[in-house]
Structure formats: C-alpha cells, structure tokens
Amino acid sequence: MNTLSSLLPSPIYRAQEIKLIEETLAKQPTPLGLMEKAGLAAAEFGLELFIDKPVVLILVGPGNNGGDALVAARYLKSWFYQVTVVFTGNAEKLPPDAAKSLQSWKDAGGTIHDSIPDNVQWDWVVDGLFGIGLARDLDKRYLDLVKRVNQMQLPVLALDIPSGLDSDSGQPFRAAIRATHTLTFLALKPGLLTAYGPDYCGEIHLDQLGIEPETLPPSKGNLLTQKQVISALKPRPLNSHKGMLGSVGILGGANTMTGAALLAGRAALKCGAGLVYIGMLADSAPAVDIQQPELMLCAPEQLLEIEGISCLVAGPGLGQSDRALALLQNAISSDLPLILDADALNLIAVHPDLASQLQNRKSASILTPHPAEAGRLLGCSNHEIQQDRIGSALVIASRQNSIVVLKGAGSICAFTDETWYINPTGNPGLSSAGMGDVLSGMIGALIAQKLKPKQATLLSVYLHGAAADKLVSRGFGPIGLTASEVIDEAKHLLNNWVYGKNS
Ligand SMILES: NC(=O)C1=CN([C@@H]2O[C@H](COP(=O)(O)OP(=O)(O)OC[C@H]3O[C@@H](n4cnc5c(N)ncnc54)[C@H](OP(=O)(O)O)[C@@H]3O)[C@@H](O)[C@H]2O)[C@@H](O)CC1
Ligand SMILES: Nc1ncnc2c1ncn2[C@@H]1O[C@H](COP(=O)(O)OP(=O)(O)O)[C@@H](O)[C@H]1O
Ligand SMILES: [K+]
C-alpha cells in the first residue's frame, strides 16, 4: 500500500477507464478475485489504523463497493472485531461478486441490519456504500445514511472513494461521506484529488491489488510528483552570468493593482531569473520597488521594445482598458513564450480576434485561469467548470493551442496532446490575493532559465503549492498566509531541490 506522497509518477484514471481495466483483469485467472483482494486490503488497513478500536460499523451499498465492504467485514470479524453490517439494498439485485461476498459473510455467521441501530457506540466506520459506480444524486435513503455517519464524528475508512463523491469530478452528489482515510484500489481517480475530493477523502492510500502499475494501460492523466518535477533542474555552472539566466518581462500593474505586477516580478526574481522588467500601466506607476530595487520598472510600451527578453508574463493587475488591450495584442503577436493570467484572460474571453491570434502563435502560450476565468473563456459558469475540471482545462488547451493551468484545490495542468496532471500540493492558505500573480512570475522565471514550457509549468505549480505547505507545517498559515511569504519559501525549496541543502 502506498501513501500519496510516496507514489512515483502515478496514473490517474476516470471511472470509465477503471471499468475497462477491471473487465480485462477479471478475465485473467488469479488465486484471489479483485473483490476479495480489495476487501482483505481494507480489513488489513483497518487493523493497522484501529487495532485498539474493536467496535466497527460497516455500511454496505448495492454494488461492488458494498461487496468489498462485506469481504472486509468477514476478515475483521474473524480477527475478533465486533462488526455491525448495515445493508439497506435489495440482496436479489446485488451484482454476482457482491452477492457471493454477502453469502460468505452469512456463512461466516455474519448478520445484516437494514438500518443503523440506535444506542451503539462504534469506534470507527467502514464506508462501502458507493465507489466509482455512483453516477447520480444520492436518493433519500442513502443521503440519510451519509448524513448520519457524518454526524457521528468518528474515524471513517472509505473504500475506493468516499460515498457520494463523483470519482471523475470531485463533486459531491448532494452529500458525501467525510472520511478520515480513503483506501483506493488499483489506481488513483481524479475525484480524490481535485475540487472537493481532498476535503472528503482525508488521508489517501492506494492499494494496487497486486497489479503491477506497468501492466496498466497508458493513462493521459497523472499525479504530479516531486521526483518528476525536479528532474529537469540542475545546478548552475560556476561560470554563470545573469545573461544566461534569462530575462522576464511582466506586463500589468494598472491603477490600484500595481502590487500584482510587483508580486509577479518578485517571484520571477526570487525563482532565479537573471533580469526582471516590469512594465506598469498605472498613471503614477512607481519608478522603483523600494523593497526589491533589483526589479527594473518601465512604461509598458517600452517593455515590449526591450531587446533580449526571454519570456513575457501578461495579466497581473493588467486591467481591461483600451491600452491594456493594445499591449496584450502586441504581447500575443510577439514570438516569445507567453504566460497569460487574470485580466489578460478576461480580455481574450471578450475579444475573439485575440483568441484566434493566440491559437496561431508559434511559441508557447501558458494560460493560468482560476475557475471563474476559465468559465469566461469557455462561455459557461464557474460551477460548470468545477463539474468537470479536467475536461474544461483540456478544451481550453485545445481551443487556445496553449498549456493550461486550471487553478484551485488540485490544480489541473492540461496540454494540447490531451495529457493532464493533477497537482497534490497546496492548501487553503493560498486562497488569498496575489497568489496567482506569484505563480505566473514563477513560470516566467523557469522558462527564462531555459526549462521547457511544459516542465516549467509543472514545476512551478508543484513548487507554489509545496512552498505553501511548508509554511503551513511551520505555523505560518493557512490563516493569513501571504503571497510574499510564498515567494521566499519557494526560493528556499527550489535551492533545496537543486543543491540539497536546507537553505
Ligand atoms: N475497479 C476495480 O478494479 C475494482 C472495483 N471494486 C469495487 O467496485 C466498485 C465499483 O462497483 P460498481 O460498479 O458496482 O459500483 P458501486 O460504486 O458499488 O455502485 C453502483 C451501485 O449503486 C447503485 N446506485 C448508483 N447510484 C445510486 C443512487 N443514487 N441511489 C441508489 N443506488 C445507486 C447502482 O444501481 P443502478 O444505477 O445500476 O441502478 C449500482 O447498484 C469500486 O468502486 C470498488 O469499490 C473492487 O471490488 C475490486 C476492484
Ligand atoms: N484551497 C486551495 N488549495 C490549493 N491551492 C489553492 C487553494 N486556493 C487557491 N490555491 C492556489 O492559489 C492560487 C490562487 O490564484 P488566483 O486565484 O489567480 O489568485 P490572485 O488572482 O489573487 O493572484 C492558484 O495557484 C490556486 O491553485
Ligand atoms: K465508498
């Protein structure tokens, strides 16, 4: 069994893909069937977690997730746990493997309750109501069970996925079990990792049921891991100079939003760009950033004339004025790698000519929308984006011929070749103004230092979240975490990853 942080690059499959894999595996002869393995793995994990907690409530649903729970119940009973099994479904309608598991449970002397008994104090709960087969809102009977379990405030081990959570989107179907632990089988599912998934899953563990990951079909989706993102990093040559480390140009900072451009610039500087220029639109733009005088501030029109810029970031505090529009047009028509955030995205959403200009760019474009910006780009609501974060990110990537980072818990990085990644780092401390500006500056810095746009994007997204996680682990958040703190921590982590020092 693996914890999330110990996973190597790990494939993520949507429910339909998992079902196909399951069908293929079911045809192969193995000493133990998949359900038996899943139930045993769950019971063993329960034993590991709750060895001193003997009284367990097990909820069994109407499909194969319920079958897993019945197998777990049988093992736990044989290990002298006091097991109460609740099954409210129709035994006649159980799928064949689950029906066999029910029979084995009964053969082992197990009994079934058709509702949660009153006046019993359980130590923990196994949630085996629904797994990847749930595709519609919970009906009242299951909704009541879910709510009742959530009110118990007990440790809950969810099998495969917390019941009620959509395993593709991470959205609850009206309600979902709030698990303290989720043991997922065979491979990761996106719903565990993005949108509300992390809120409902608790600690995620994976049991591959003895199936070697290499034998699984290739997946378009993968979990981002530290090992993968840092593979492109290498120490600087001793004989380096600032010209080798690239220069980033930031376009933004209109009236009242100068801070956004400064944050992007400081992030670019502290993530290693050799030179950083900021072209600010504000009427009385500062001539210098007193806190960070290394930044070179200029008029935005002047920025676009500077020779030797390696990479442009357009959007932090850009505003949507005519001047902003004209500058953005120029930025898009440049042949530099381009990161577009915030108002640059909002302008593209309302100017189809800009959108088509973007589609035809020869060099890399990286779009970093949050869900509301993504909704504007696709002409739909924020809610619709969140219902299908992966699909939405892929559509924007394909329509705009761009790399896309759909931000928010479990950020999705999507590419034009239809591959996608989910980022496991980050926390609610990042839900504060300026964090997106920092991310765009970081991507700019890494592209300027000659990382490939894909690698620069994946590394920045992972690093941004990892920096926030580190700060929270040291008590600097999540409440009140600031974008400036994230910049400094990202610098430390990056040095640590390259030079292996606890700097
Ligand atoms: N993948 C693997 O390799 C392995 C998979 N395994 C396990 O199988 C699980 C998938 O099993 P599954 O396909 O039977 O689906 P599951 O989640 O149990 O639910 C489907 C049932 O729920 C019902 N139902 C749906 N919505 C409902 C509603 N709102 N209200 C009421 N009922 C509703 C639906 O009824 P129907 O829609 O057909 O009328 C159907 O009866 C998977 O998550 C994992 O735990 C392991 O055993 C081994 C390895
Ligand atoms: N709850 C969260 N968990 C993980 N990451 C988060 C969370 N909330 C916000 N973030 C991250 O913080 C950043 C916020 O960006 P954005 O909304 O554009 O902020 P701003 O516009 O204020 O700069 C994104 O990278 C996003 O993924
Ligand atoms: K479940």
User: Rounded CA gap, 120 and 42, in Å?
Assistant: 23
Mutate to test the pocket of ligand 1, among 13, 23, 130, 201 (most ligand atoms within 8 A of CB): 130
- pLDDT band of residue 29 (cuts 50, 70, 90) is confident
Average pLDDT over residues 279-299: 96
Q: Is 163 annotated as a binding residue?
A: yes
pLDDT in tens, 412-421: 999 999 999 9
Do the beta carbons of residue 180 and residue 202 sit within 8 Å?
yes
Cβ of 68 below 6 Å from ligand 1? yes
CA of 130 to the centre of ligand 1 (A): 5
Closest listed ligand to the CA of 20: 1
pLDDT in tens, 316-342: 999 999 999 999 999 999 999 999 999
Sign of CA dihedral 500, 502, 489, 206: positive
Task: Give the pLDDT score at 232.
Answer: 87
Q: Is 75 annotated as a binding residue?
A: no
Closest residue by CA, ligand 1 atom 43 = 131
Cβ of 13 below 6 Å from ligand 1? no
Do the beta carbons of residue 262 and residue 253 sit within 8 Å?
yes
- pLDDT band of residue 244 (cuts 50, 70, 90) is confident
Question: Crossing angle, helix 371-378 and helix 389-400, to 10 degrees?
Answer: 50
Asked if ipTM goes beyond 0.85, one says yes
Q: Which CATH superfamily is domain 2-223 in?
A: YjeF N-terminal domain (3.40.50.10260)
Structure tokens given for 488: 């400094």
Spell out the domain ranges in the chain. Answer: 2-223, 245-496
pLDDT in tens, 108-151: 999 999 999 998 999 999 999 999 999 999 999 999 999 999 99
Cβ of 478 below 6 Å from ligand 2? no
Closest listed ligand to the CA of 200: 3
pLDDT at position 285 over 90: yes
Closest listed ligand to the CA of 443: 2
Cβ of 179 below 6 Å from ligand 2? no
Task: Give the pLDDT score at 3.
Answer: 64
pLDDT at position 43 over 50: yes
pLDDT in tens, 66-81: 999 999 999 999 999 9
pLDDT at position 168 over 90: yes
Task: Give the pLDDT score at 24.
Answer: 86
Tell the burial category of 432 from Cβ atoms under 10 Å away from its Cβ (0-12, 13-18, 19+): middle
Asked whether this chain's domains 2-223 and 245-496 adopt the same fold, the reply is no
Closest residue by CA, ligand 1 atom 16 = 133
Considering only CA atoms, which of 57, 60, 72, 65 is closest in space to residue 104? 72
Mutate to test the pocket of ligand 1, among 20, 22, 64 (most ligand atoms within 8 A of CB): 64
Task: Give the pLDDT score at 25.
Answer: 84
Q: Is 308 annotated as a binding residue?
A: no
Task: Give the pLDDT score at 215.
Answer: 86
Task: Give the pLDDT score at 503.
Answer: 42
CA of 221 to the centre of ligand 3 (A): 22
Considering only CA atoms, which of 387, 364, 367 is closest in space to residue 447? 364
What is 245-496's CATH topology?
UDP-N-acetylmuramoyl-L-alanine:D-glutamate ligase (3.40.1190)
The set of long-range contacts for 281-284, using a CB threshold of 8 Å and a minimum separation of 24, is 281/252, 281/253, 281/254, 281/255, 281/317, 281/318, 281/319, 281/321, 281/323, 281/324, 281/327, 282/253, 282/254, 282/255, 282/256, 282/257, 282/258, 283/255
- pLDDT band of residue 22 (cuts 50, 70, 90) is confident
pLDDT at position 422 over 80: yes
